[in-house]
Amino acid sequence: MMKLLHLTLFLLIAIENAANANGARHHHSPKKPKTHKNPRKLSHAYAPSPTPTPTPTPTYPPSIPSDPSRDPTQPDDNTNTTCIFDVTEFGAVGDGSNDDTAAFRSAWKAACQVENSVVLAPSGLVFMITSTIFSGPCQPGLVLQVDGVLMPPDGPDCWPESDSHQQWLVFYRLDDMTLTGTGTIEGNGQKWWDLPCKPHKLIRFFMSNNLVVTGLRIQNSPKFHMKFDGCEGVLIDKLSISSPKLSPNTDGIHIEDTKSVGIYNSVIANGDDCISIGQGCSDVDIEAVTCGPSHGISIGSLGVHNSRACVSNITVRNAFIKESDNGLRIKTWQGGTGSVSGISFENIQMENVRNCVIIDQYYCLTKACRNETSAVYLSDVTFRNVKGTYDVRSPPIHFACSDSVACTNITMSEVELLPYEGVLVDDPFCWNAYGVQETLTIPPIDCLLDGMPQSLTENSLYGC
């Protein structure tokens, strides 16, 4: 599988090199972008990039030219040169008001038949399309390249009655597919945020494998910006996701039932979780991501309605989390089963974050949840080199483990958190949490329990 991922990445780079003379994708904003206070400490031998990516401005850079002399509906004779299916050659207008859905569907349908082909939404144009399922199976190597702007109709009043209100762009049953470009996917979320109803996710990948999403700016989603479910092999690189701080449920990247995921070199600012990891995820590697404002990086919520959740082997390294309601969070409902294990947070810089490090096994939206006797079992969770400042409105460290199922093997090493401003809140909280401190934690915690709980059952409820 990793071989395929590498192959996909190689193909992507090859396509970009061949086609994209304008390599610049990030433009410095006039304001100097914030960098890590201590880049040296955050750098890591395996770090793809030791500093966070600068925030790009919402400009739409020029892109690759296409070859107008070629009939786009016909594949090239030369089977392994890249075939470009430019949506404007399929009737897309790109003036921001014409409905270009049919053109995108036709271009996709044609490209789907051809190996290594590119559906191109060229730069300088704004394409409006309605809710669309881009489905496969397609020939391998298919690329959707958005160099212009792609957006849904502006708000619920313009949303076609017959369209799904749950989702906008769906990529379904694809293998070896790339979504890339120097352009912007604009969610037009503003008019949905004020509504009581749950609006749609912007981009969803469903039951697809070996996916690459890179380079794009994705903004103002009505709900989650991107969701992956039922996927295996996902590489996300150099994304910029942004929505206002006060936009509800606008999670940056949400994954569930998804395995082998890499999220790298991305900058996410939004109104909910920066990255959220739901049930059924394993082998997830997150590195060089900047979050904030946001609700931090979250595993969960898991175990809702007494469900079983299995999450394992999640690594977050070299992240910068700022101005966020949470930093690193694991949240589970009472009454769930299954386990969360092998979680490692390493080299994390915090700036003005509430609940920097939090395990909450009593997650409840109504505050009226019953006490239950089972829980998703948490074990082997490491916080290493987590430093920076917290918002004093919440204690920086909080481990509320289940009454009935203790958390075990929590490792704290070089965790040093100081108030961003105001008075030190040094009352870290632990309930039923077992683990070790390899170095002295700041603020000091003396509530972690030694060893293993006596009652820890080899209970099949908690196996995965």
Ligand X SMILES: *[C@@H]1O[C@H](CO)[C@@H](O)[C@H](O)[C@H]1NC(C)=O
Residues at the site binding ligand X, with contacts judged by CB under 6 A: 79-80, 283-285, 313, 315, 370-371, 380, 382, 409, 411
Residue 286 Cβ vs ligand X, minimum distance, rounded to whole Å:
9
| C-alpha distances out from residue 360 to 284, 334, 407, 427, Å | 21, 10, 11, 16
Exposed/middle/buried for residue 381 (C-beta within 10 Å: 0-12, 13-18, 19+): buried
CA angle 303, 175, 316 (to 5 degrees): 45
Residue (121 or 430) nearer to ligand X, CB? 430
Is 398 one of the catalytic residues? no
| Shortest distance in whole angstroms from residue 268 CB to ligand X | 19
Task: Considering the complex, state which of residue 352 and residue 382 has its C-beta at the smaller distance from ligand X.
Answer: 382
Shortest reach from residue 381's CB to ligand X, in Å: 6
Cα separation, 308 vs 96, in Å, equals 45
At 390, the amino acid letter reads Y
Is 36 known to be catalytic? Answer: no
Smallest gap from residue 457 Cβ to ligand X (A) = 16
Write down the catalytic residue from 36, 295, 360, 391: 295
Let me know: does 320 contact 352? Beta carbons within 8 Å: no
3-state secondary structure of 329: strand
Nearest to 311 by CA among 332, 290, 288, 296: 332
The nearest distance, CB 324 to ligand X, in angstroms, is 24
Nearer to ligand X, 225 or 259 (CB): 259
Based on CB atoms, which residue is closest to ligand X, 436 or 440? 436
Catalytic residue among 272, 283, 325, 360: 272
What letters, b where the CB count within 10 A reaches 16 and e where it falls short, cover 198-213?
ebbbbbbbbebbbbbb
d(CA 411, CA 445): 12
Report the residue number, 135 or 409, with the smaller CB distance to ligand X.
409
Helix (H), strand (E), coil (C) string for 363-413: CCCCCCCCCCCCCCEEEEEEEEEEEEEECCCCCCEEEECCCCCCEEEEEEE
Q: Which residues are catalytic?
A: 272, 295
